Amino acid sequence: MSLPSESDLSSRAAAAAAACGVDLSAAGGAQVGRSPVNGLPVSSLAWSTPADVDAAVARSAAAYDAWRLVPAPVRGAVVRRFGELLREHLDDLATLVTLEVGKIGSEARGEVQEMVDICDYAVGLSRQLFGRTMTSERPGHRLMETWHPLGVVGVISAFNFPVAVWSWNTAIALVCGDTVVWKPSEQAPLCALASAALLRRALVDAGFSGDESQVVLGDAAVGMALVDSPAVALVSATGSTRMGREVGPRVAARFGRSLLELGGNNAAIVGPSADLDLTTRGIVFSAAGTAGQRCTSMRRVIAHSSVVDAVTDRVAAAYEKLPIGSPLDDGTLVGPLVNERAFASYSTSISAATTSGGSLVVGGSRVLDADARDAYYVQPTVVRMPAQSDVVHTETFAPLLYVLAYDDLDEAIALNNAVPQGLSSSIFTQDQAEAELFMSAGGSDCGIVNVNIGTSGAEIGGAFGGEKETGGGRESGSDAWRAYMRRATNTINYSGDLPLAQGVTFDV
């Protein structure tokens, strides 16, 4: 495996950022960003301070006063223009995603395509922010609900989807009449600056100030300044469960709203009737894609005892053929872990699994050569487990898959549900009754419940999110837009009289 040089990556990053409208000479500073592709510096930027966050929120709040009064379809037209710019610069943004977080080319382009897709969705939504009209118990009265812009939305995003998750929030927030302040992952500042530059261009070209979208770069202290700001109406935060435990109470303490998308420990049940060819493909992509660093990555396979050996053998054989290497190279399917800390977690979990009785089936090692000294490429790993021990209950953000056996579907569903997280789940089966049970109230307790596909690969049109320690929030499609608006219940009296509800009399 041959990795690119520091100068090669830095020049590619600078060119892609400049194409999107980012002047790195003006954004320069002392904070060095390292690429997981080779572990070497790829950027040097200035980080924001908590005072900078306050200033950004103030600008956003000032812009909100005007933006909320703009008709929603006009706001939608700005988002449509943003989507057009994303199409024009898809390859530039994808390059930055690869360089800063290590995604292979097709996955990086797919992430930017998600940004395009949510813009298309939000444009349609801008004409469908519906309220209901309800019948009144009082004669000559009408009840209805109206939806109004909420305010400033703070978005905190994670490294593994450095641009898509921000766009999910931002496209919908903008058409709902909100303004946005974004604190991206420290791992992907160039992705954020480039995305924000394109959105600012769309806003300014349409005659708006551009302050409707703000970016603040920095570490946890910067994020917490955004969390604690009383002017931020909604904090939408994506990250670890640990992070969510800090963010949620702090927002609640000031009576703000939070939308949390946290950890996932996702399982697939494989029934005795499953199509094993389809099952194998679904498992391998969900478990090894993005080097296991999606919140929806498959962590557990719960296979019927009649097929567990065959499933394990098929997945192991596929893993042994997966091309591991630089995500910039054509043909690579598994790129690097994001950093040394991720590698340490991967190694520790494998050790804990084998100590608790697990059997290493395939993988388990770092892929090394002279060029990869500061980068962390690992073999996707399968461990057969005798039971769902503590290590299996803990999410490891790496390509580490545990395989367990079951004899009865109720047992399998119990195993699926017996972890603290509740994001995504799936079942592979040709038995309709099994599929229906898994999707029923007595089935999976996750926010995403799939049949005959893996746990990853959510589409824009469906609400994305999970239950339990995953946080309970919903982003993207369906009625997720309601989280970004406030609801008013209106009563209109056109009777000329004043009857009271519930038959109350109060004559004066």
Catalytic residues: 261
What contacts 51, CB < 8 A, 6 or more positions away?
none
CA dihedral over 432, 437, 441, 446, signed as positive or negative: negative
- The residue whose two tokens read 């990086």 is 108
CA dihedral over 98, 103, 105, 109, signed as positive or negative: negative
- The residue whose two tokens read 């009399």 is 505
Tallying the residues shown for the chain, one arrives at 508
> Phi and psi dihedrals of 169, rounded to 5?
-70, -45
SS3 377: strand
SS3 42: strand
* Identity at 276, one-letter amino acid code: L
Half-sphere CA count of 475, side-chain side, radius 13 A? 29
Maximum Cα–Cα distance across the chain: 90
- Give the per-residue SS3 of 300-369: EEEEECCCHHHHHHHHHHHHHHCCECCCCCCCCCECCECCHHHHHHHHHHHHHHHHCCCEEEECCCEECC
Which pairing describes strands 41-45 and 152-156: parallel, antiparallel, or unpaired? unpaired
- Give the per-residue SS3 of 192-226: HHHHHHHHHHHHHHCCCCCCCEEECCCCHHHHHHH
Q: What is the rounded distance in angstroms from the CA atom of residue 263 to the CA atom of residue 468?
A: 10
* Identity at 77, one-letter amino acid code: A
Q: What is the rounded distance in angstroms from the CA atom of residue 256 to the CA atom of residue 476?
A: 21
DSSP 407: S
SS3 69: coil
Cα 333 from chain centroid?
A: 21
**Rounded to 5 degrees, what angle do the CA atoms 483, 485, 490 make?**
120
